């Protein structure tokens, strides 16, 4: 069985672990990671969602935070702050910086981001192939009101510095129309038996992935069923501030509204089936009205067993 998962950071990495444990021997798992959060900082390339997924699969992640390494120290970051270098509100852990330095060196030697991740997988057996959505550098920017005018900033500044407290007018991914899917992404989707959308942020995680031109097309034409998992449980996002992102694109923080936003594949959309939390069972008719089959199942990923059970439910849903 060939399974492809589209994933962001916190929700994406937890779900990826669940899918890996739910899959049988001989099954092939490909995880397509959002790279819209990526940035250059203090001379190094950061790929937060890729790294959250790789660290989680390698078992070296800080599971509570959902990003960065377990057992992290911050000597270098403290020194950078004293230099006035980088962003004082954005901490690069020492172990994490080891990866950023390695990656930046390899990129400068001419490796692609896809090849860099493959190198990471030589050190850490991941039990999955992790692909960036694209090797092209694509940012996510957020435009907010600034008096009578507007101001545009990098997603990380809006998210981490301002904690999403500035009302977003819109999100953009400059350059994404020219971006190509990373090698293997469209092929994996075309050859998949199942495609799963992790319960990731629909706006700034899944949104950029499906906005890469060849990826959206590959999803529309693959013969594999596509099953999405709601990141909203009982009308609330589980971890983070995705509700504020959803409001900016006019989508309610509601599991059925997100399903309708992705749309039914029968009607040119992205999903065949949608996993709803038990708390949201009453939304099943609304999801059905959008032409999407829904399955009610526990959606909380508390630990590996609950993430595995969720992944199993998604795989069962895909089989029809």
Whether 210 and 19 have beta carbons less than 8 Å apart is answered as no
> Binding to ligand FO1 by residue 9, rule CB under 6 A?
yes
The only residue of 15, 67, 158, 274 in contact with ligand FO1, by rule CB under 6 A: 67
207 binds ligand GDP (CB under 6 A): no
Close Cβ partners of 21 (under 8 Å, ≥ 6 residues apart): 304, 307, 308, 311
State yes or no: residue 46 binds ligand FO1 (CB under 6 A).
yes
Q: Which of residues 10-39 bind ligand FO1 (CB under 6 A)?
A: 37
- Out of 15, 37, 62, 271, name the contact with Ca ion by CB under 5 A: 37
Considering the complex, what minimum distance in angstroms separates the CB of residue 8 from Ca ion? Answer: 4
142 binding ligand GDP? (CB under 6 A): no
Q: Are strands 226-229 and 194-197 parallel, antiparallel or unpaired?
A: parallel
Select from ligand GDP, Ca ion, ligand FO1, none the partner in contact with residue 12, using the beta carbon and a kind-dependent cut-off of 5 to 8 Å: ligand GDP
Asked if 51 is part of the footprint of Ca ion (rule: CB under 5 A), the reply reads no
Distances 311 to 43, 193, 207, 234 between C-alpha atoms, Å: 38, 15, 21, 19
Determine whether 104 is exposed, middle or buried from the number of CB atoms within 10 Å of its CB (0-12, 13-18, 19+). middle
Question: What is the C-alpha separation between 291 and 315, in angstroms, rounded?
Answer: 20
Query: How many positions of this chain bind ligand FO1 (CB under 6 A)?
Result: 16
Element (H, E) at 16: helix 10-22
Considering the rule CB under 6 A, would residue 51 count as an interface residue with ligand FO1? yes
How far is Cα 282 from Cα 161, in angstroms, rounded to an integer?
A: 37
Residue 272 binds Ca ion (CB under 5 A): no
Nearer to ligand FO1, 159 or 262 (CB): 159
Residue with smaller CB distance to ligand GDP, 189 or 244: 244
User: For residue 196, what is the enclosing H or E element?
Assistant: strand 194-197
Distance between CA atoms of residues 98 and 96, nearest Å: 5
Report if residue 139 touches Ca ion, rule: CB under 5 A: no
Where does this chain touch ligand GDP (CB under 6 A) — which range of 117-125, 130-138, 249-257, 297-305? Answer: 297-305
CA–chain centroid gap for 300, Å, is: 17
Which partner, Ca ion, ligand GDP, ligand FO1, none, binds residue 87 by CB below 5 to 8 Å per kind?
A: none
- Give me 220's structure tokens: 């529309």
Two tokens at 285? 């008719």
Per the CB < 8 A criterion, the answer to whether 273 and 267 are in contact is no
Under rule CB under 6 A, which residues in 9-68 are in contact with ligand GDP? 9-12, 14, 49, 66
> Which residues fall within 8 angstroms of residue 55, CB to CB, at 6 or more apart?
13, 61, 62, 68, 69
CB of 297 to ligand FO1, least distance (A): 25
Scanning 22-30, 156-164, 176-184, 293-301 for contacts with ligand FO1 by CB under 6 A, the matching segment is: 156-164
Site size for ligand GDP (CB under 6 A): 26
Strand partners, 232: 237
User: What is residue 159's three-state secondary structure?
Assistant: helix
Residues that bind ligand GDP (CB under 6 A): 7-12, 14, 49, 66, 198-201, 205, 229-231, 233, 237-240, 242, 299-301
Residues that bind ligand FO1 (CB under 6 A): 8-9, 37, 46, 48-49, 51, 67-68, 90-92, 96, 156, 159-160
């Amino acid at each position: 069985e060939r399974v492809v998962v589209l994933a962001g950071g916190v929700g994406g990495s937890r779900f990826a672990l669940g899918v890996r444990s739910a899959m049988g021997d001989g099954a092939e798992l490909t995880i397509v990671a959002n790279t819209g959060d990526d940035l250059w900082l203090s001379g190094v390339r950061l790929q937060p969602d890729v790294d959250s997924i790789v660290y989680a699969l390698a078992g070296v992640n800080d599971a509570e935070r959902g990003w960065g390494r377990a057992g992290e120290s911050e000597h270098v970051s403290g020194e950078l702050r004293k230099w006035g270098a980088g962003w004082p509100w954005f901490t690069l852990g020492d172990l994490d910086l080891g990866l950023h330095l390695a990656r930046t060196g390899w990129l400068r030697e001419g490796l692609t981001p896809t090849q860099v991740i493959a190198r990471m997988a030589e050190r850490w057996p991941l039990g999955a192939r992790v692909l960036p959505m694209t090797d092209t550098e694509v940012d996510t920017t957020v435009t907010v009101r600034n008096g009578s005018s507007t101001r545009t900033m990098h997603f990380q500044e809006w998210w981490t510095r301002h904690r999403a407290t500035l009302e977003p007018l819109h999100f953009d991914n400059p350059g994404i129309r020219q971006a190509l899917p990373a090698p293997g992404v469209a092929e994996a989707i075309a050859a998949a038996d199942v495609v799963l959308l992790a319960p990731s942020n629909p706006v700034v995680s899944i949104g950029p992935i499906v906005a890469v031109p060849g990826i959206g097309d590959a999803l529309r034409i693959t013969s594999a069923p596509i099953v999405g998992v709601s990141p909203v449980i009982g009308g609330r996002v589980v971890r983070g501030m995705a509700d504020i992102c959803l409001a900016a694109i006019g989508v309610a923080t509601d599991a059925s509204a997100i399903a309708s936003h992705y749309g039914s594949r029968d009607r040119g959309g992205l999903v065949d089936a949608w996993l709803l939390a038990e708390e949201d069972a009453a939304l099943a008719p609304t999801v059905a009205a959008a032409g999407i089959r829904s399955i009610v199942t526990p959606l909380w990923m508390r630990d590996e067993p609950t993430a595995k059970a969720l992944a199993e439910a998604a795989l069962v849903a895909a089989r029809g």
